[in-house]
Structure 1
Amino acid sequence: MTPQEFDAFYAASFSRLTGQLYALTGNWSEAQDVVQEAFVRAWDRRHAFGSVNAPEAWIRTTARRLAVSRWRRLARGLQLAGRHHHQEPPTVEPPTEEHLVLIAALRDLPEAQRSALVLHHMCDLSVEQVAAETGVTVSAVKSRLARGRAALAVRLADRTPADEEGKLRV
């Protein structure tokens, strides 16, 4: 991949990937950081990166792994410091109320369900692609999607504002 091709790829996908990672992490700054770091790693491997079949999936997977690694380091640091409670990161106000409601509802879900929902519905990946990115079976992805949709529907019914016609705006 030439530097110009890489720059075009970066410009075309950075915002979309950051939004996807924000939905996964619930933290805008963290999402920006891990996506940027994933792009730096791709740049360092740009000659081999050019032959990757799905470069956006590679960036997303790398960013997701970086976020998980950061969470683990943070948890370990809190344990070493003798702190046994989990602190929530500060909430960053999203551009719309609907987006905030959706992210809050997603944040309440178990990570496996949240990842499956975001990757399938927000990143437009097939069930098979979600299975490949997360390292689980297709059956497990389908199960996580079904349980996650049911749990999300309950949470959104309690939180989501309705428009004039009573339809959900999210």
Structure 2
Amino acid sequence: MRDAEEFDALYAACAGRIVGHVYALTGNRSEAEDAVAEAFTRAWQRWPTVRQADSPEAWVRRVASRTAVSSWRKTFNRMRAHRRAAVDQSVPGLNEDHVALLQALQRLSANQRRAVVLHHLNDLSVAEVAAEMQAPIGTVKTYLARGRRAMAGLLDEARQEGTSHD
């Protein structure tokens, strides 16, 4: 009974944050929700081990991120195979700033994107990001600095394109 209560508490405390994290990485809420559900399923299957982790939330976030990236790669390869038949799809309900942010994030390297999302959208400290990414703090600081610089340029471009169309 204690296991179920601890697991339920973990889920209640962080499922929403993890969905937000994976959504920021993938740009697809449905895929993010599926990846998080899969990660929590795996966490429950390995609960005695996950419970003992330094951060069970980080364990679930890492598994969800990897699951989503794997799914995204498969989807990307399918889309590339059917590129000629693809049509432009717009996402309803998103404002221009949100779309520009997601597009800019997608243009960063995977490590930069992950560091920026963990630090700025999930409010993790640099040390916590380094622990989750299993990278030295200096490397994470470099990812963040380069990611922010790239994002600033990309968002500037998007803003200029937006004003030139008006």
TM superposition shift of 1:30: 1.2
Counterpart of 1:120 in structure 2 is 119
1:103 corresponds to 2:102: yes
Counterpart of 1:166 in structure 2 is none
- Provide the TM-score with structure 1 as the length reference: 0.76
TM superposition shift of 1:84: 9.0
Query: Which structure shows the higher helix fraction?
Result: 2
- Asked if structure 1 preserves the Cα contact closer than 8 Å seen for 2:111 and 2:143, the reply is yes
- Provide the TM-score with structure 2 as the length reference: 0.77
Counterpart of 2:5 in structure 1 is 4
RMSD over aligned CA atoms reads: 3.0
TM superposition shift of 1:148: 0.7
Distance (whole Å) between structure 2 residues aligned to residue 78 and residue 100 of structure 1:
20
Aligned length: 158
- Asked if structure 2 preserves the Cα contact closer than 8 Å seen for 1:27 and 1:92, the reply is no
Aligned identity (percent) is: 46
Task: Give the letter for the 1:156 counterpart.
Answer: L
Q: 1:113/1:90 Cα in 2 relative to 1: closer, same or farther (>3 Å)?
A: farther
Task: Give the letter for the 2:127 counterpart.
Answer: E
Distance (whole Å) between structure 1 residues aligned to residue 34 and residue 88 of structure 2:
14
Q: 1:49/1:94 Cα in 2 relative to 1: closer, same or farther (>3 Å)?
A: farther
Q: 1:53/1:94 Cα in 2 relative to 1: closer, same or farther (>3 Å)?
A: farther
- Asked if structure 2 preserves the Cα contact closer than 8 Å seen for 1:20 and 1:123, the reply is yes
Specify every segment of 5 or more residues in structure 2 that has no aligned partner in the other structure, as ranges. 160-166
TM superposition shift of 1:129: 2.5
Specify every segment of 5 or more residues in structure 1 that has no aligned partner in the other structure, as ranges. 161-170
What's the CA shift string for 1:41-76, capped at 9, x where partnerless?
Answer: 011112232222211111111111112222444566
Superposed, 1:47-126 pairs within 5 Å as 47-74=48-75, 83=81, 92-93=91-92, 96-126=95-125
- Asked if structure 1 preserves the Cα contact closer than 8 Å seen for 2:126 and 2:140, the reply is yes
Distance (whole Å) between structure 1 residues aligned to residue 87 and residue 69 of structure 2:
15
